[in-house]
């Protein structure tokens, strides 16, 4: 009888650990995660999970509300953005590969019309780069933004904590 109880306990512990882990998928969940990467993680967690980033560089100017640091994992098609003052706390996660998609089908190479059909009117529309075609659609209450390039094509999909967009970008 003790063995049955012990086996049952081990099975239940194993099941609870498996359900608490984030799945390794390609889903972008607004305000929460891109695949197995979550906003609750730190850069140290991402390095432990994925190995060293391919590049890390300060970024400021444009429509940014404050200086940030961009950490890029080119081979994974993902970036993590931190504040320049705290380079461990993740502020924004960005997918720049069309492998990652939202539950509404929005991914790199989607069109602006698809984004606005899926998410409605953005909280803000800003120019994020030097080109007049560099436009960001920000959905603050959902915690998602998309960068558009010439032709209204999605170049990147980013997530952030809902309600924090004005701390990240000027608009």
All structural domains of the chain, each given as residue ranges with its CATH number in brackets, are 27-168 (2.60.460)
Angle, CA of 17, 45 and 105, to the nearest 5°: 75
* pTM, entire model: 0.84
Q: Tell me which DSSP letter residue 22 carries.
A: P
pLDDT at residue 17 in the model: 45
pLDDT bin (cut points 50, 70, 90) of residue 167 is very high
Of residues 89 and 17, more confidently modeled: 89
Q: Which one has a higher pLDDT value, 133 or 164?
A: 164
Per-residue pLDDT averaged across 66-70, rounded? 94
Q: Are 122 and 137 in contact (CB under 8 A)?
A: yes
The 3 state secondary structure assigned to 71-119 is EEEHHHCEEEEEECCEEEEEEEEEECCCCCEECCCCCCCCEHHHHHHHH
pLDDT of residue 13: 46
**For residue 135, is pLDDT > 80?**
yes
Distances (CA, A) of 79 to 20, 54, 148, 171: 24, 10, 17, 22
């Amino acid at each position: 009888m003790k063995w049955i109880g012990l086996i049952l306990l081990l099975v239940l512990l194993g099941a609870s650990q498996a359900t608490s882990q984030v799945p390794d998928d390609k889903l972008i969940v607004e305000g929460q995660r891109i695949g197995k990467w979550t906003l609750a993680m730190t850069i140290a967690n991402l390095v432990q999970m994925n190995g060293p980033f391919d590049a890390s560089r300060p970024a400021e100017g444009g429509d940014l509300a404050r200086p940030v640091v961009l950490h890029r994992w080119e081979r994974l098609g993902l970036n993590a953005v931190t504040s320049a003052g705290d380079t461990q706390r993740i502020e924004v996660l960005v997918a720049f590969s069309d492998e990652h998609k939202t539950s509404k089908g929005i991914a790199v190479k989607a069109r602006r019309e698809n984004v606005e059909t899926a998410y409605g009117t953005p909280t803000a529309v800003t120019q994020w780069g030097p080109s007049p075609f560099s436009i960001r659609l920000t959905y603050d209450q959902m915690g998602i933004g998309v960068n558009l390039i010439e032709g209204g094509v999605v170049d990147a999909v980013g997530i952030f904590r809902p309600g924090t967009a004005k701390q990240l970008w000027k608009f």
